[in-house]
Homo-oligomer: A and B are copies of this chain.
Amino acid sequence: MKLVIVIVQDDVALDLIDSLTESGYRVTKLATTGGFLKSGNTTLLIGVEKEKLEEVLAILKEECKTRKQVVTSPSPVAGSTGVYVPYPVEIEIGGATVFVLDVDQHLKI
């Protein structure tokens, strides 16, 4: 068995957990602050049999791939009329750091 430790941005974590759970994997979510990428990260633990590891890594690659997202600017800039005008900005989301560890023994009690 392998233990997969995944560090992802909080806003990617929920979709990732859904996707892993739907595929039958059990995920433990650790509260995390700060981190490898920027603040607002989540650490997940996933125990997986060796023969399923590639499938889990494929899900991680799909769900965590870096992509651009258009969001409405959270701090809108004042227009010439003095009225605050929200405007769309493109940000990058996704990315993950993954460690796969060998499990010496595992048991379900």
Contacts and interface: CB of A to CB of B under 8 A. Distances in A.
B100 A102 contact: no
Given A5-B3, A7-B28, A45-B43, A64 B99 contact: no
A102 B99 contact: no
Copies of the chain in the assembly: 3
Given A30-B43, A35-B29, A3 B101 contact: yes
A94 B26 CA distance: 17
B35 A32 contact: no
Contacts of A103: 99-101
A65 interface: yes
Interface of A: 1-3, 5, 7, 17, 26-36, 41, 43, 45, 47, 57, 60-61, 64-66, 94-109
